[in-house]
Amino acid sequence: MFNPVLICYDETESKRRDTMDTMDYLCKIGQFGKNPDGSYTRRIFSPEWEGAADLVRNEMRALSMKTDRDAAGNEHGVLLGSVPGLPAIILGSHLDTVPSGGLYDGAMGVAAALAALSRAQKEGVVFRHPMEIYAFNGEEFNPLGALFGSRVLTGWFDSEAPHMKETLRSFGRTGEEMAAARRDFAGVKCYLEAHIEQGPELAARKLPVGIVTGIAGVFRYRVICHGMANHSGTTLMKRRHDAMVGMAKLIVYGDLRCRELDDHLVFTAGTIDCLPNSANVVPNRVEATFEMRHLERTLTDALIADIKSYAETIPDVTFSFETREEKPGTYCDKGIQKVFQKAADRLHLPYLVMPSGASHDAHALARRVPVGMIFVPSRDGISHNGKEWTDAKDVRAAGNLIYEALQLLDKED
């Protein structure tokens, strides 16, 4: 099995350069959580995650940063600026992965942040603003909820939610500790995050960089189709109340209607459960999860409204809907988008201005400070998979673009 870590980090070469680039840092992080099949697993608060967090802490200290780790597991470093009183610029992403995930998701953004400050150190650049790095914990879906670390930091985490106290206790944490980990953002200028696209658009266009306009909202619903169980052999088709058929019709409608409304609107029926789930019984209850994503809530609201209306027209069954998650979309700061565009032009990097369909830590940070994000290509659009891949030149471009943008932002007060 091909293992990118075996070829992407050359310690002798990095010492010769007297600096570490994004690929070097990424592959050092990739020493933790590597599976035999070449994929990576670093789950929230796991030993693999802790090893990666310890490594990042040591790398930040090597850059003369003061470090700490909060109760949520967010590894944090601070490099003081030369002008007292100026607000901090925060860089970061996450260290955890999905089970059997890839090398690049999240970790590349942490690596790009380290590489930008490493390059500044080598070139003798002293930033006016304080520079901070966060390596967030629990961004991927987990028992404490996706974006766990960044939600705790921004005060978007509800430790009083049902079962949350017990779940926190299972990780050796308390709600009081989570509340204490909330940060005051009054002294922060902005947050920047580099990430792989996790989609096919940049690779299809052969573009090295995406400048993100915003992060799509995520809305999930529990949908139940109610029918009547009966013998599959003796119940004629015209007399059936088949919950599976009813749910199938609704899913197909949701897919078709989504395609009609907007190219960037997406609809997924990701889970389905059937009762009694027997080969010789007409199903009487089918439960599914409907997820829809778009930057504009008006479109997701329109889609679920249309789905509910159509459900009323499906004969022989009834439906019930329960909202499970509402996470509205958020826009990236337009001024930071322009800074990234100017930085890309300086580096002669062509770019695509694009929304993000996936959620990121920037989504949580945007509740408190202006945010900016950049993407680099994902080969074949593959992510959350051991086959996840981004070319080394594009990984390095991420660190270079962050560095260039930092210099532009640092000139501002």
Q: Can you tell me the distance from the alpha carbon of 295 to that of 301, in angstroms, rounded to the nearest whole number?
A: 12
Binding-site positions for allantoate read 220, 280, 293
Calculate mean pLDDT across residues 301-326: 98
Binding-site positions for Zn(2+) read 94, 105, 140, 195, 384
Grouping H, G, I as helix, E, B as strand and the rest as coil, residue 131 is strand
CA distances from 154 to 13, 148, 371 (A): 39, 10, 13
- Residues of the chain with pLDDT > 70, as a percent, come to 95
Identify which of 221, 228, 240 has the alpha carbon closest to the alpha carbon of residue 285: 228
Q: What is the pLDDT of residue 12?
A: 46
Q: What is the pLDDT of residue 8?
A: 54
Q: What is the pLDDT of residue 15?
A: 46
pLDDT-derived band at 161 (thresholds 50, 70, 90) equals confident
Calculate mean pLDDT across residues 220-224: 98
Using one digit for the tens of pLDDT, what is the confidence trace for 137-155?
Answer: 999 999 999 999 999 999 9
Q: What is the pLDDT of residue 160?
A: 87
Query: Are 134 and 74 a contacting pair, CB within 8 Å?
Result: yes
**Do the first three CATH levels of 5-216+329-410 and 217-327 match, i.e. the same topology?**
no
* Preceding omega of 276 cis (within 30 degrees of 0): yes
For the chain, how far is it from start to end, CA to CA, in angstroms? 50
CATH top class, domain 217-327: alpha beta
pLDDT-derived band at 237 (thresholds 50, 70, 90) equals very high
Using one digit for the tens of pLDDT, what is the confidence trace for 57-72?
Answer: 999 999 999 999 999 9
Domain ranges of the chain: 5-216+329-410, 217-327
Q: Can you tell me the distance from the alpha carbon of 23 to that of 327, in angstroms, rounded to the nearest whole number?
A: 33
Mean pLDDT of the residues in the chain: 95
Binding-site positions read 94, 105, 140, 195, 220, 280, 293, 384
Q: What is the pLDDT of residue 164?
A: 94
What pTM was computed for the model? 0.89
Using one digit for the tens of pLDDT, what is the confidence trace for 238-295?
Answer: 999 999 999 999 999 999 999 999 999 999 999 999 999 999 999 999 999 999 999 9
Q: What is the pLDDT of residue 215?
A: 97
Phi then psi for residue 119, to 5 deg, are -65, -40
Q: DSSP character for 333?
A: P
Parallel, antiparallel, or unpaired for β 88-94 and 131-136?
Answer: parallel
Q: What is the pLDDT of residue 2?
A: 40
Calculate mean pLDDT across residues 361-375: 98
Identify which of 215, 192, 216 has the alpha carbon closest to the alpha carbon of residue 369: 192
User: Which CATH number does 5-216+329-410 carry?
Assistant: 3.40.630.10
Calculate mean pLDDT across residues 181-202: 98
Q: Can you tell me the distance from the alpha carbon of 92 to that of 94, in angstroms, rounded to the nearest whole number?
A: 7
Phi then psi for residue 6, to 5 deg, are -70, -20
Parallel, antiparallel, or unpaired for β 371-376 and 209-215?
Answer: antiparallel
CB contact set of 106 (below 8 Å; sequence gap of 6+) = 93, 94, 95, 96, 97, 136, 139, 140, 195
Grouping H, G, I as helix, E, B as strand and the rest as coil, residue 406 is helix
- Can you give the three-state secondary structure of 57-87, one letter per residue? HHHHHHCCCEEEECCCCCEEEEECCCCCCCC
Task: Identify the H or E element spanning 341.
Answer: helix 334-346
Using one digit for the tens of pLDDT, what is the confidence trace for 76-90?
Answer: 999 999 999 999 999
Whether the per-residue pLDDT at 182 is higher than 50: the answer is: yes
Query: Other CB atoms closer than 10 Å to residue 67's CB: what's the count?
Result: 16
Using one digit for the tens of pLDDT, what is the confidence trace for 383-400?
Answer: 999 999 999 999 999 999
